[in-house]
């Protein structure tokens, strides 16, 4: 295998690895969201993942929800435990 082929293979592997990590993050965040649907930070992170995946519709949906929850949580007299 030539040097350029090796570089191309390694670059391809890195891209695949990054894509797999992004999908793993998506699964983890969707599971967390099922348990904690009112956490703005989860929607914000999901928006970032969907942006990386090129899904602008889901990105916008989660950005909108994160913003709405952030505004609501500032008025919430009973803040939820955990990090938002």
At 15, the pLDDT band (50, 70, 90 cuts) reads confident
| Secondary structure (3-state) at 1 | coil
Q: Dump pLDDT digits (tens) for 34-71.
A: 999 999 999 999 999 999 999 999 999 999 999 999 98
Determine the Cα–Cα distance for residues 70 and 7; give it in Å rounded to an integer.
44
1 burial (CB, 10 Å; 0-12 / 13-18 / 19+) is exposed
Per-position DSSP letters for 48-76, written without gaps between them: HHHHHHT-HHHHHHHHHHHHHHHHHHHH-
Determine the Cα–Cα distance for residues 79 and 51; give it in Å rounded to an integer.
29
pTM (predicted TM-score): 0.72
Out of 24-28, 68-72, 80-84, least confident range? 80-84
Nearest 5°: CA angle at 68, between 79 and 58?
Answer: 120
């Amino acid at each position: 295998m030539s040097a350029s082929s090796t570089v191309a293979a390694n670059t391809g592997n890195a891209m695949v690895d990054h894509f797999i990590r992004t999908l793993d993050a998506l699964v983890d965040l969707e599971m967390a969201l099922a348990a904690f649907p009112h956490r703005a930070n989860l929607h914000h992170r999901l928006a970032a993942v969907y942006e990386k995946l090129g899904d602008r519709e889901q990105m916008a949906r989660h950005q909108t929800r994160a913003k709405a929850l952030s505004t609501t949580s500032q008025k919430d007299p009973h803040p939820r435990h955990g990090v938002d």
